Structure 1
Amino acid sequence: MFTGIVELIGTVAEYKEYDTSHSGGGGVSVTVKDASPILGDCHIGDSIAINGICLTVTEYDSDSFKVGISPETIRRTNVASWQAGAQVNLERAVGQDVRFGGHYVQGHVDGVAEIVSCVPEGNSIIFGFKLRDKVFEKYIVEKGYICIDGTSLTITGMDSNGVFYIAMIKHTQEKVVMPLKSVGQEVNIEVDLTGKVIEKQVILQLQDQIDNENSPLSNLVEKLINQKLEKLLK
């Protein structure tokens, strides 16, 4: 679990593709350097989020660490655009003594969005994004949470074309990689888990009510149908 509060900007030192015969199964290994401030308590198997993707440390030294990334993760995220020298957001998994300043972030990226606008407003920047997969638009709620490249942000609005916006204050601009990106580039998106959980529970409850002929919903539907039929027969 993560908070979406980026701890450090690291640098991709190596991006290496596995062949299909490798145990990585056609994925990639990525080594990130300039990470010494978050490696003092590191262990093999620890989780570190890189641009919002929860990944497992397989090797590390005093300044760098390595992770393996599966083909499924590559398809879902912007990993394929990484290259040596790219800067990335880093956050360790939360510990018991961490203040929860962002929001509940799993590090399970849902998909990517394209940066479609970047407009200064005072000392803030208003970014606009368009999701690649429209299915996730239903979870975009004004003033709701969203995680973009591992950064917990608040949605300020969404237009009729599905473009949603965030306002990034100056402090955040100095701590994350997004201001280094250009219009047209992609970012990783994790929508707020709360919306997905509520949707799932509503669907399950409705299905249970529909399947049970004696449920309150079934009784209500039957009553409404009978009332309509009575009116038609009069």
Structure 2
Amino acid sequence: MFTGIVEELGTVAAVEDQGDAIRLGIRATTVLEDVGLGDSIAVNGCCLTVTTVDGEVWTADVMQETLDKTSLYGVRPGDRVNLERAVTADKRLGGHIVQGHVDGVGEVVSRTPSEHWEVVEISMPTALSRYLVDKGSITVDGVSLTVVEAGDDRFTISLIPETLARTTLGTRRPGDRVNLEVDVIAKYVERLLPYSGTGASDA
């Protein structure tokens, strides 16, 4: 589990084509401080497993399923990526509950700068719109954010200077693809609603 609070910007060091998968090498420092083989690190919101560590470069195998359904498809050496280690029980939950399981890929539609923040509009698959509400939570490329306005096929977020400086969202441009993960609590509520009124308490 993650919180959507990015710990550092890593750099893609290598992309090895393995046919139905890629081996992704990422240069980092902070997320490697206590890393072990088999640990989970979120890369632009995708939960990946550490397979090797060599100095400041760690690798992960990314299956075709992940490439098909996330913006990691087409990643190239030199690209910057948001990194976060899995949360531990003694840490503050600064964002919201993030699983690192991408629900869909959106696209940056527009950016509107202001004096102290920037409003970004992002398109999304219409099937995800039912999980978004104004002032609710959304994860974009692994960053925990608050929805400003939720529409049928797009939403807006406001980015403060800290987020712009410390994550890839500061450099995303209209047309760029981004990974989206909706609030898992909303999905559980939806799943439970058809069963309301049928529990043991109704007997």
Shared fold, TM over 0.5: yes
* d(CA) in 2 for partners of 1:36, 1:171: 20
Contact 2:138–2:144, Cα closer than 8 Å, also in 1: yes
- State the SS of the aligned residue for 1:123: coil
Relative contact order (alpha carbons < 8 A, sep ≥ 6): 1 or 2 greater? 2
Matched, 1:146 2:138: yes
Equivalent residue for 2:111, pick from 100, 109, 118: 118
| Ranges in structure 1 where 5+ consecutive residues have no aligned partner | 20-25, 210-214, 217-234
Equivalent residue for 1:30, pick from 24, 28, 31: 24
Matched, 1:86 2:74: no
Once the two structures are superposed, residues 45-78 of structure 1 have per-residue CA deviations (whole angstroms, 9 ceiling, x without a partner) of 0000000000000001231100011111111100
Equivalent pairs: percent with the same residue?
Answer: 38
Contact 2:163–2:169, Cα closer than 8 Å, also in 1: no
* d(CA) in 2 for partners of 1:106, 1:76: 15
RMSD: 1.5
- State the SS of the aligned residue for 1:73: helix
Matched, 1:40 2:33: yes
* d(CA) in 2 for partners of 1:77, 1:83: 14
Structure 1 stretches of at least 4 aligned residues deviating more than 4 Å after TM superposition = none
Once the two structures are superposed, residues 89-135 of structure 1 have per-residue CA deviations (whole angstroms, 9 ceiling, x without a partner) of 0000011221110000000000110100101022211000111x211
Q: Which residue of 2 aligns with 1:228?
A: none
Once the two structures are superposed, residues 184-229 of structure 1 have per-residue CA deviations (whole angstroms, 9 ceiling, x without a partner) of 11100000001100000012347x59xxxxx89xxxxxxxxxxxxx
Q: 2:126 is matched by which residue type in structure 1?
A: K
Q: CA 1:62–1:96 in 2, change beyond 3 Å: closer, same or farther?
A: farther
Q: Which residue of 2 aligns with 1:17?
A: 17
| Ranges in structure 2 where 5+ consecutive residues have no aligned partner | none
- Name whichever structure is richer in helix by fraction: 1
* d(CA) in 1 for partners of 2:77, 2:57: 13
Equivalent residue for 1:52, pick from 20, 40, 45: 45
**Cα offset for 1:40?**
1.7
Q: Which residue of 2 aligns with 1:2?
A: 2
Q: 1:15 is matched by which residue type in structure 2?
A: V
